Structure 1
Amino acid sequence: MKKFVKTVAIVLSLTMTLTALAACSNSKENDSSSSSSANNSSTVSSNSTVEEDKVHTLKILGPDPGNQYIKFSEREEYKVWGLLQDMLKENNLELELEAVPNDQYEVVIQTRMASTSLPDIANLTPIDDASILTLGKNGTIQELSELIQKYSNGNIDRMFGEVYDTAYPLITTAEGKIYWLTDLHKGSTYGGKEIPVGLGMQIRQDWLDKVNAKMPTTLAEFTDVLRTFREQDVNGNGKQDEIILVDAQYFNNGLAQIFGLGNGYVALDVINGKIVSPWYQDNIKEYFTYLNGLVNEGLIDSATLGSWDIQNQRLADNLVASWNAYDSATYLNGYVTSDSSANYVPVFTLTDAVEGSEPWKEVETSQLVWQRYCITKACTDVEGAIKFFDMIYSDEYMTILHWGVEGETYEVRDGVNYSINIGTNEDKANARKTNGSPLWGDLLPRVQLGSAYKTYDEWEEVLKGENRSDVQIQAMAKAVDYEYWYPLMLDNFLAMPTDEETESLNKILTGIQTYSDEMCMKITLGTASLDDFDTYLGELKELGLDELIAIQQARYDRFVAASK
């Protein structure tokens, strides 16, 4: 297997240049909609164009996309929504959509799946995979491989087996069963090179300019410039309160990777093809010592640890010198509502955290499989449900979902799609111009396929047209060939667990996660001493850390074998 595994990520939505990613329910980019489920319940009607053709009516339950500006409740005002209705009509489909606000969806879907009030198709992502598999085995959701074989027109197999060629190994059980279909994302390429999207520390370029400092390249330079920001009161409020935001309870925070540490309780070392845990890796004590030093200096505000609300407030108040985010992100500056000149740019990597160590990079790889869409036992028209998924996994749907309306949100030049830059989500909402992803993504599946640019120059031209800075473009280009990286979404490299593995994961995961988060916070704050590190490690072993590493290694090895 190549060092750079050409799979995935996430999306994310996940969202990177192409990501949604947004994809990520913890993303600070999107704010949850406050609209109620009742207001978002709707029927998308379609009438058969051929009288004898059956119209398939399906009830679908999922989360409201929750975009602050591009609102599902205003979908009728967007031309792309009309294109979706046309597709449904052509496929003799009628959808009754129930969109639940994001912040309520986890409770709603768990309650509904335990009741008799089931939709035909549901997004079960908030329910863990092991529990979904249990729902499959007890018949609450239907097994899909036989239904696909019997009713599909071939679109599902083409997308999951050819276009996204690592997708099937990620959703097929050891027994050959499939209980869900997913969102799919495949990024752009230039000159045949797949373009991943890196994450890492971002720094205020306008503050660097203000104190006449260069972009730091080492951890020592980075720390010194953070101190300089405070000493010179760079935000001009008369206080030494400039800080760095770090999610110290987790390892996927940008700083841990500078010390070479994995980005999760366990992570994938792509150089050696090994599952590793940062708790066992070199430099972990040096990492915690560094974090504790930042807290003691006031460079980390302890009130921000574990609190999105306080972090967002510090951003809004113009206090944040640096934080972890996508290198490609265009939304970061908007969080600083008190300073319109804010300009965050990627640091990319910082060397010399520990002498002789390599900085690693967290990367959202270019092929992503995420979200879980299932057909429940309530669905009596399984032929119609498969017809729906065949429509979803078609090139036509992918185009309107990912690109939108030709001439309005994208244009085609020499057979390559190019986005038309309309501006921010707020600008798109005001113009009522968007692709389908922010309007109904995750209520219905996302299928995203990037462009194949012939040269780097073509790709660079697109990025500049999307208002990305030179520093961002350089960081994004470096990520393409950077050797030392951890995948953002480990699940995109793990085969489905066996029954025995699922049973073990159910027993050990929660305990490991809870204890790891707790000790990361305590060591960072100094309420737990590194002198007792062996005790903490012993507790993690007792909770099953070694077993977790072994299970995930076995799943990774099966994924590699199935992907050849």
Structure 2
Amino acid sequence: MNQKMKQASLILSVSALAVAVAACSGQSGETPQTSAQDGKESQPPKLTHLTYWVANHPAAAAQMKTYADMEMYKELEKITGVKVEFQHPPLDTAQAKEQFNLMIASSELPDVIEYAWTDYPGGPEKAIQDNKIVKLNELIDTYAPNLKKLLADHPDWKKQITTDNGSLYAFPFLRGDDKVRVFFGPAIRQDWLDKLGLKMPTTIDEWYSVLKAFKEKDPNGNGKADEIPINLDKDLLNTDAPFLGAWGINNSFYQDNGKVKFGPIQPEFKDFLATMNKWYKEGLLDKDFAAPNAKLLDNKMTTNVLGATAAFNGGGIGKYAGLMKDKDPSFNLVAAPYPVLKPGDKAIWGQKDFAFNGVGAAITTSDKNPVETVKWLDYAYGDKGEQLFNYGIEGESYTMQDGKAVLKPEVLNPPNGISSQQAIAKYTRATWSAPFVLSDNFQVQYLALPQQKDALSVWAKPTAERKMPLVTPTQDESSKFASIMTDINTYKDEMLLKFIMGVEPIDNFDQYVKKIQSMGINDAIQIQQTALERFNKR
């Protein structure tokens, strides 16, 4: 009898303990916290803490130490009960990449790494094979209903975020509509054009005439010859070919009717270099173009000495309008068309992102709770997450009107010279990148100024037909490709500066091409060609 009572008591104790554990493990949400394992239901541990490596952004870094201070993530912590410890590398791109490489080489990784995984040597499939990040196909299929539905509804998106081997590897940042995929291009001071009676330039020759006038005719009206006609630093020269594209090429790999080519060895590149060399010698191109410096660029624009540049719509046109509205009410930086060589030519090159730009949040093999992390990341792709990640906090950064989120006027038009990007950054990452779907409703509001709305249509005109998709070489290809291109890119970038600054005569261009060919560029082109053909078969 005593033995039976002991057994009954033990059973009751175990049952009570199981109930207690289940209660402690419970978490409010749209999906139950269960996982299928060996055909049985089991309760994974409750997720309360995540480590998350992600690049910071100047608009956020200027006012907070970490994304954890952002209202969006504070609210997400309240909703999910998950406290996130963000790890940010330096803002400098080269230093950030160096920190990523050091981190990825270690055995202890943060739980989540948000990165442009197509830049990983060998691509994201190699990161999975290296046992650095987790293949997500089954996890998304089972535990991420929001993202799963999006990918089912948009097979083109799924193609872009899938490796050639069929692996899903990250929760992606997605630009959901054409309106949110165009955000960068040439920009010029319309008030300077008006003052000098000049028309908007559309060809390279017209740009030359306008820049000469900016230099010689004192458009800022201070009686000094201090105008800098155009700033195109070496990074801007590389980004979606804002001026190089007039010659139909870019500064990297591109495709021409399905055939991969390398822009810097094309004959047209010589003509571009000769043009930039002429602009530099005549003082039209900013003498500091070889050393990109965002703060120095801001200073030149806001001290009324810079006439043109290549700019982002929000972080350029919008930012400077906000900074200058009280300082100089006549200031008017507007989008200019991507230039062509002959009047009436169709612009081929321009900035237009694919829905996926390669940036996504991957779960590392160090994460002890991948199932719960998947659920946490999936929240952003549902209706409530879409509101939070795009607009921030209802009543603080936006209100609901006729069923739509409307950003508050003080966020879009902040006081005291703060840009709208900085004001929004207190609440969300929607003006740059995060693992969620960027809404066109947000973008149309964010680009509130007439100049910004015009920029959407002006910069959207190029066909971008030669842009390479986000291809991923295999492990062997990637190793060979990286070995070739590391040296070629170093040499190419060095020679770009030398040719433009006149240190190297343009007549030596053919020798430069032969040098790049001797370094194995044809093998690199073939690797890209093979990867493009695999991508097209996905």
> TM-score, length-normalised on structure 1?
0.74
- Establish whether residue 291 from structure 1 lines up as the match of residue 279 from structure 2: no
Q: 1:476 aligns with which of 456, 467, 471?
A: 456
Question: Structure 1 residues 350 and 432 mapped into 2: Cα distance closer, same or farther (>3 Å)?
Answer: closer
- Establish whether residue 123 from structure 1 lines up as the match of residue 105 from structure 2: no
Gapped regions of structure 1 (runs ≥ 5): 1-45, 190-194, 454-458
Question: Structure 1 residues 117 and 206 mapped into 2: Cα distance closer, same or farther (>3 Å)?
Answer: same
**Cα distance between partner residues in 2 of 1:430 and 1:229:** 31
Q: Match of 1:364, SS?
A: coil
Q: 1:227 aligns with which of 207, 212, 217?
A: 212
**Cα distance between partner residues in 1 of 2:67 and 2:238:** 38
1:316–1:335 CA contact under 8 A, matched in 2? yes
Q: Which amino acid aligns with 2:463?
A: E
Q: 1:348 is matched with which residue?
A: 337
Q: 2:160 is matched with which residue?
A: 170
Q: 1:158 is matched with which residue?
A: 149
**Cα distance between partner residues in 1 of 2:69 and 2:483:** 49
**Cα displacement (A) at 1:222:** 2.4
Q: 1:401 is matched with which residue?
A: 389
Q: Which amino acid aligns with 1:423?
A: L
**Cα distance between partner residues in 2 of 1:140 and 1:368:** 22
Q: 1:200 is matched with which residue?
A: 185
Question: Structure 1 residues 533 and 511 mapped into 2: Cα distance closer, same or farther (>3 Å)?
Answer: same
Q: 1:367 aligns with which of 355, 359, 371?
A: 355
Q: 1:113 aligns with which of 104, 109, 122?
A: 104
Question: Structure 1 residues 228 and 427 mapped into 2: Cα distance closer, same or farther (>3 Å)?
Answer: closer
1:333–1:342 CA contact under 8 A, matched in 2? yes
**Cα displacement (A) at 1:506:** 1.8
**Cα displacement (A) at 1:345:** 0.9
More off after superposition, 353-362 vs 529-538: 353-362
Q: Where do 1:132-143 residues align within 5 Å?
A: 133-143=125-135
Q: Match of 2:350, SS?
A: strand
2:185–2:459 CA contact under 8 A, matched in 1? no
Q: 2:449 aligns with which of 463, 467, 470?
A: 467
**Cα distance between partner residues in 1 of 2:517 and 2:57:** 40
Q: 2:37 is matched with which residue?
A: none
Q: 1:323 is matched with which residue?
A: 309
Q: Match of 1:56, SS?
A: coil
Question: Structure 1 residues 219 and 375 mapped into 2: Cα distance closer, same or farther (>3 Å)?
Answer: closer
Q: Where do 1:88-103 residues align within 5 Å?
A: 88-89=80-81, 93-103=82-92
Question: Structure 1 residues 307 and 54 mapped into 2: Cα distance closer, same or farther (>3 Å)?
Answer: closer
Q: 1:83 is matched with which residue?
A: 75
Question: Structure 1 residues 463 and 246 mapped into 2: Cα distance closer, same or farther (>3 Å)?
Answer: same
**Cα distance between partner residues in 2 of 1:350 and 1:246:** 14
Q: Match of 1:319, SS?
A: coil
1:58–1:384 CA contact under 8 A, matched in 2? no
**After superposition, what is the alpha-carbon deviation per residue over 1:148-196, rounded to whole angstroms, capped at 9, x for unaligned?**
34x4243332234434x3343334333333443332221356xxxxx64
**Cα distance between partner residues in 2 of 1:433 and 1:198:** 17
**Cα displacement (A) at 1:383:** 1.9
**Cα distance between partner residues in 2 of 1:344 and 1:310:** 17
- Establish whether residue 67 from structure 1 lines up as the match of residue 52 from structure 2: no
**Cα displacement (A) at 1:294:** 0.9
Equivalent pairs, count: 487
Q: Where do 1:16-95 residues align within 5 Å?
A: 48=27, 54-63=45-54, 64-68=56-60, 71-73=63-65, 80-89=72-81, 93-95=82-84
1:172–1:496 CA contact under 8 A, matched in 2? no
Query: Larger C-alpha radius of gyration, 1 or 2?
Result: 2
Q: 1:265 is matched with which residue?
A: 252
**Cα distance between partner residues in 1 of 2:482 and 2:61:** 39
**Cα distance between partner residues in 1 of 2:436 and 2:103:** 23
2:260–2:528 CA contact under 8 A, matched in 1? yes
**Identity across the alignment (%):** 24
**Cα displacement (A) at 1:433:** 8.8
**Cα displacement (A) at 1:75:** 7.3
**After superposition, what is the alpha-carbon deviation per residue over 1:332-363, rounded to whole angstroms, capped at 9, x for unaligned?**
34577975642211121334x35896543312
2:181–2:354 CA contact under 8 A, matched in 1? yes
- Establish whether residue 515 from structure 1 lines up as the match of residue 491 from structure 2: yes
Q: Match of 1:330, SS?
A: helix
Gapped regions of structure 2 (runs ≥ 5): 1-24, 34-42
**Cα distance between partner residues in 2 of 1:106 and 1:539:** 28
**Cα displacement (A) at 1:323:** 0.6
**Cα distance between partner residues in 1 of 2:248 and 2:72:** 44
Q: Where do 1:437-456 residues align within 5 Å?
A: 437=429, 445-451=435-441
More off after superposition, 410-419 vs 359-368: 410-419
**Cα displacement (A) at 1:513:** 1.2
**Cα distance between partner residues in 1 of 2:137 and 2:106:** 25
2:169–2:362 CA contact under 8 A, matched in 1? yes
Q: 1:254 aligns with which of 237, 242, 255?
A: 242
1:265–1:513 CA contact under 8 A, matched in 2? no
Question: Structure 1 residues 53 and 70 mapped into 2: Cα distance closer, same or farther (>3 Å)?
Answer: farther
Q: Which amino acid aligns with 2:470?
A: L
**Cα displacement (A) at 1:106:** 3.9
**Cα distance between partner residues in 1 of 2:76 and 2:44:** 19
**Cα displacement (A) at 1:418:** 4.6
More off after superposition, 327-336 vs 498-507: 327-336
Q: 2:21 is matched with which residue?
A: none
- Establish whether residue 381 from structure 1 lines up as the match of residue 366 from structure 2: no
More off after superposition, 538-547 vs 404-413: 404-413
> TM-score, length-normalised on structure 2?
0.77
1:122–1:374 CA contact under 8 A, matched in 2? yes
**Cα distance between partner residues in 1 of 2:234 and 2:99:** 31
Query: What do you get for the CA RMSD once the two structures are aligned?
Result: 3.8
**Cα displacement (A) at 1:411:** 5.0
**Cα displacement (A) at 1:365:** 2.9
**After superposition, what is the alpha-carbon deviation per residue over 1:485-543, rounded to whole angstroms, capped at 9, x for unaligned?**
554xx4xx133322232122222121221121112111111222222222111112222
1:411–1:419 CA contact under 8 A, matched in 2? yes
**Cα displacement (A) at 1:436:** 2.2
